[in-house]
Amino acid sequence: MMTDNIFLKIVEKKIPARIAYEDERCLAFHDVNPQAPTHVLIIPKKVIPTHADLTDADRDLLGHLHLVAAKLAEQLGLQDGYRLVVNCKEQGGQTVPHLHMHLLGGRSLHWPPG
Ligand code: DGP
| Better pLDDT: 87 or 4 | 87
Instruction: State the catalytic residue, choosing from 98, 100, 102, 110.
Output: 100
Tell me which residue range forms the domain holding 20. 6-105
Is-contact 25 64, C-beta < 8 A?
A: yes
Phi-psi region of 106 (alpha: psi -120 to 50; beta: other; left: phi over 0): left
Q: Is the CB of 52 under 6 A from ligand 1?
A: no
Amino acid at 108: S
**Residue from 96, 99, 102, 103 whose mutation best tests the ligand 1 pocket (most atoms within 8 A of CB):** 96
**Residue 85 belongs to a domain:** yes
Task: Say if residue 1's pLDDT is above 50.
Answer: no
Nearest Cα neighbor of 105 from 79, 68, 71, 67 is 79
Query: Which CATH number characterizes residue 55's domain?
Result: 3.30.428.10
**Residue 112 belongs to a domain:** no
Average pLDDT over residues 94-103: 98
Q: Is the CB of 43 under 6 A from ligand 1?
A: no
pLDDT in tens, 29-40: 999 999 999 999
pTM recorded for the entire structure: 0.97
Task: Say if residue 19's pLDDT is above 70.
Answer: yes
